[in-house]
Structure 1
């Protein structure tokens, strides 16, 4: 499971009601997110089924990652933690390229799922994730209820789930408990999807989207929703596949 991003909101952003600005901002967020998912999917597919590409990151006989495969798996996590500190230093083009590089590396690292799960199971998990994500995104955008209070609860559940995962890995080693944790994480990322979309809606209503800072904020928002979707997809894939690692 991938990590969540840290808070990407500028301290000076004020949340004002500007429906048109919010719609344009959210539309751009989803354009960036869908472009990133498409790039990740293409990289995952080609690095799974093209033998020449696959051999660059894993042992052709065992399917295990070589040194370059390990580097590729770690690189997206490093980029996520560098994203916010570099946001103000990089140009808009630099931030966009950084996001696309991140998406490509994520796709390459995700190519391993094709060695662990049959294609039809991957397609089923992806379709389910898309439906659930879409429903919660629409809900988060249209609801009149303030979801702010749920954000801190969801983050605490996320941290608690990570702690439980490590304890189960090191101490309990229970497959049933592991499955329960997976369901907990699914609930967390379903909730975070609605929360993050509402948060982005409010941010979009309080910034001048046409400037570079606003466009870079849209890319950071796309990164957040991208990670929500990828985590939801991987968790459902594990559940559908009998919680295999």
Structure 2
């Protein structure tokens, strides 16, 4: 199950956009450091709960691979963390934000460990590499482009909402594999666009804040969470396209 995010736009409303390239570079660097921390934690948790029988058995039936109640709860748990981070961001301390971010990364990794029961290792690896390359190219593009991508952001978010609705309808009503494949291609395109949009947005945010204070560090963590979710969703939708189910 793909986990979606609203890109935490509310967090950035009060940040002024000014030209400060050095501050922007420092902020973006810290955003990516936190993002890589999240990916590392998630990858470790995914591997542990996929390949250690005692841990895997906590979430799913060892023979059928079907999720038990705890496994189902775990799949939806990342959404709870996102809602908490969204609702409590301004009131949370830096330490609390870091703890929630690390916990979210771990739970997210555990929640997607099911992919090793559905897809071959080669398919997962190729999807991950493709996602990393595409994400990297679009991140560089979003950082270096002189074109204002703001107008595309609202369009992409509306398309994302439409894609989520279409996915739900297809699961419960249409159950069409062809429609599912079409949705997957559209969602990949949406998250490719959102990657460039969010990197440019974070670049501007970084130019308008002083990273040395706690609020700036919290914004970097939230920015990392936004890009992390872009990458994870890009990877999962590519996996649906490339996937050869076992």
Tell me if structure 2 keeps the 8 A contact 1:99–1:219: yes
Corresponding residue to 2:127 among 118, 125, 128: 125
**Residue 10 and residue 112 in structure 1: after superposition, are their counterparts in 2 closer, same or farther (change >3 A)?**
same
- 2:169 counterpart residue number: 167
User: CA offsets, 1:29-57, max 9 Å, x none?
Assistant: 00000010011001000110101111111
User: CA offsets, 1:106-147, max 9 Å, x none?
Assistant: 101111000100111100000000000000000000000000
Tell me how far 1:173 sits from its aligned partner: 2.0
Partners of 1:174 and 1:107 lie apart in 2 by 28
Tell me how far 1:8 sits from its aligned partner: 4.0
**Residue 71 and residue 163 in structure 1: after superposition, are their counterparts in 2 closer, same or farther (change >3 A)?**
closer
List gaps (5 residues or longer) in structure 2. Answer: none
- 1:23 counterpart residue number: 25
Count residues in correspondence: 244
Tell me if structure 2 keeps the 8 A contact 1:95–1:216: yes
Partners of 1:65 and 1:207 lie apart in 2 by 44
- 1:43 counterpart residue number: 45
Q: 1:101 is paired with a residue of what secondary structure?
A: helix
Tell me how far 1:152 sits from its aligned partner: 0.8
Tell me if structure 2 keeps the 8 A contact 1:161–1:184: yes
The 5 A counterparts of 1:5-84 are: 5=6, 6-84=8-86
Runs of 4 or more off by more than 3 Å in structure 1? none
Tell me how far 1:10 sits from its aligned partner: 3.7
Length-normalised TM-score, structure 1: 0.96
**Residue 152 and residue 10 in structure 1: after superposition, are their counterparts in 2 closer, same or farther (change >3 A)?**
closer
Tell me if structure 2 keeps the 8 A contact 1:40–1:103: yes
Q: Does 1:216 align with 2:218?
A: yes
Tell me how far 1:166 sits from its aligned partner: 2.3
- 2:243 counterpart residue number: 241
Length-normalised TM-score, structure 2: 0.96
Q: CA RMSD in A?
A: 1.3
Pick which of 39-48 and 81-90 moved more. 81-90
List gaps (5 residues or longer) in structure 1. Answer: none
User: CA offsets, 1:46-74, max 9 Å, x none?
Assistant: 11010111111112222111222122111
Partners of 1:19 and 1:69 lie apart in 2 by 45
- 1:88 counterpart residue number: 90
